[in-house]
Amino acid sequence: MEKIIVRGGHQLNGTVKVEGAKNAVLPVIAASLLASEGKSVITDVPVLADVYTINEVIRNLNAEVEFNAEHNTVVIDASNELETEAPFEFVRKMRASVLVMGPLLARYGHANVAMPGGCAIGSRPIDLHLKGFEAMGAEIHVGNGFVEAKVNGRLKGAKIYLDMPSVGATENIMMAAALAEGKTIIENGAKEPEIVDLANYLNQMGANIIGAGTETIRIEGVDKLHGAEHSIIPDRVEAGTFMVAAAITGGNVLIENAVTEHLRSVISKLEEMNVTVKEEGNGVRVIGPESGELKSTDIKTLPYPGFPTDMQSQLMALMLRAEGTSVLTETVFENRFMHVEEFRRMNAQMKIEGRSVIIEGASDLQGAEVAATDLRAAAALILAGLAADGVTRVTELKHLDRGYVNLAGKLAALGADIERINDTDDTVKPVTQEETEFATKSF
């Protein structure tokens, strides 16, 4: 079994570079299905399991995809006639596969995608995506584990109010509306930087979208879209994870490519906790306080620009080491506290009360064998391990590989005592880019 082994107590120092954002590249690759002519060239693509999965999804739909992992580039030619069915084997691995629905429906008037189902962080329905398609004239049929959307002729532009600013629904509707007849207005849309990145890519493809990044997005449908070149924005969650790694070890780390504008809410909480954060060059320098000087704080997760749910478990790890009582409230997903039990195995003093976790710090964290319950929980357990006494072993690394490129290797380069091992052959080896690629290819 693959494990990450962390021996805590080492300060992190040096420079680390952030990859392209997972949550930006997945919709961008899905959007490439809208191009009935020309090739798309996507750069700054992170080498992640989820990227291999979305590439497989669109290959299966008959798009041509070349992933040059060494150069972080994906070239997509979707000018062939495409299939319109995405089976469960892909959607099960990665919920973002549902993002092919908007493009297929808009281009072919038909999409049949396996129902994503719930996952470890919540039930995650797609009702808002479907309501949007219906408002544009699609008929929706749910049965036999699939959700099918059909329209006679083209989708028609519509005014769509989202009950909540769902990232995926905003993306799916924006992609569908790009090729619809007439104007679509999305109200109460998600404002995440990844939405802006997708809109920029769609506009490069010939779409006419304004207002992305605000709650009202206006899309004037066009008849055709073509391939385009696009580079993916840096991953704000990976950047935030390294910020916590520096803070929790009392280290001093320059995080290159971190976009401070995308990280305001995280930076503000780190500063409240007595962590120093300074913009430097094209990144951010994070300096953790001396041991015993981290201060407690309260955090509530919210849609952007509020505090991101994808940084909740990492900040929870930091709160464990802060003096005093911290309260962390999760409002985006109803069940994103599975990591609490794992932290408790590391001697964390905390309890769940409804949608909040009350943390009594500073806990004397002890190394333990812990299992990652989802992607960000995997990172958070590693972060806790950096500050724990003794050896922490983190298992269930398939979650980690979905969203972090070589996290163990990057932390080791900053001075952490960390390695990734495979128990079955007992060889202890550092994680290289090639190994990550190899491991993720077989997913």
Ligand X SMILES: CC(=O)N[C@H]1[C@@H](OP(=O)(O)OP(=O)(O)OC[C@H]2O[C@@H](n3ccc(=O)[nH]c3=O)[C@H](O)[C@@H]2O)O[C@H](CO)[C@@H](O)[C@@H]1O
Contact partner, 169, from ligand X, ligand PEP, none, Cβ < 5-8 Å per class: ligand X
Q: Which of residues 297-356 bind ligand PEP (CB under 6 A)?
A: 310
List of E strands, 82-196 = 85-86, 110-114, 139-143, 146-150, 159-161, 183-187
Residue nearest to ligand PEP (CB): 310
C-beta neighbour count of 142 within 10 angstroms: 11
Residue closer to ligand X, measured from CB, 49 or 362: 49
* Max Cα distance, the chain (Å): 65
Contacts of 323 (CB under 8 A, 6+ apart): 292, 293, 294, 295, 296, 361, 362
Q: How far is the CB of 375 from ligand PEP (least distance, A)?
A: 5
Residue nearest to ligand X (CB): 168
Q: Which of residues 355-384 bind ligand PEP (CB under 6 A)?
A: 375-376
Check if the beta carbon of residue 71 is closer than 8 Å to that of residue 42: no
String of contacts with ligand PEP for each residue 101-140, x by CB under 6 A: --------------------x-------------------
127 marked ligand binding residue: yes
Residue closer to ligand X, measured from CB, 121 or 248: 121
DSSP 390-430: SEEEEE-THHHHHH-SSHHHHHHHTT-EEEEEETTTTEEE-
Residue 240's beta-bridge partner residues?
none
Q: How far is the CB of 236 from ligand X (least distance, A)?
A: 11
Contact partner, 376, from ligand PEP, ligand X, none, Cβ < 5-8 Å per class: ligand PEP
Of the candidates 274, 271, 234, the residue with the CA atom closest to the CA atom of residue 255: 234
Amino acid identity, position 242: F
Kindly state the DSSP code that residue 311 receives in the 8-state scheme.
Answer: G
Burial category of 222 from C-beta neighbours within 10 Å (exposed 0-12, middle 13-18, buried 19 and up): middle
Q: How far is the CB of 11 from ligand PEP (least distance, A)?
A: 27
* Under rule CB under 6 A, residue 18 binds ligand PEP: no
Question: Is residue 148 flagged as an active site residue?
Answer: no
Q: How far is the CB of 168 from ligand PEP (least distance, A)?
A: 8
Question: Binding residues for ligand X, per CB under 6 A?
Answer: 23, 26, 96, 122, 124-129, 164, 166-169, 190, 309-310, 332-333
Residue closer to ligand PEP, measured from CB, 262 or 376: 376
> Which one among 221, 283, 367, 403 touches ligand PEP, defined by CB under 6 A?
403
Check if the beta carbon of residue 121 is closer than 8 Å to that of residue 333: yes
Q: How far apart are CA 394 and CA 325, in angstroms?
A: 26
Q: How far is the CB of 376 from ligand PEP (least distance, A)?
A: 5
C-beta neighbour count of 324 within 10 angstroms: 13
String of contacts with ligand PEP for each residue 163-202, x by CB under 6 A: ----------------------------------------
Catalytic center residues: 119
Binding residues for phosphoenolpyruvate, as ranges, are 22-23
**Site residues (vs ligand PEP, CB under 6 A):** 23, 95-96, 121, 310, 375-376, 403
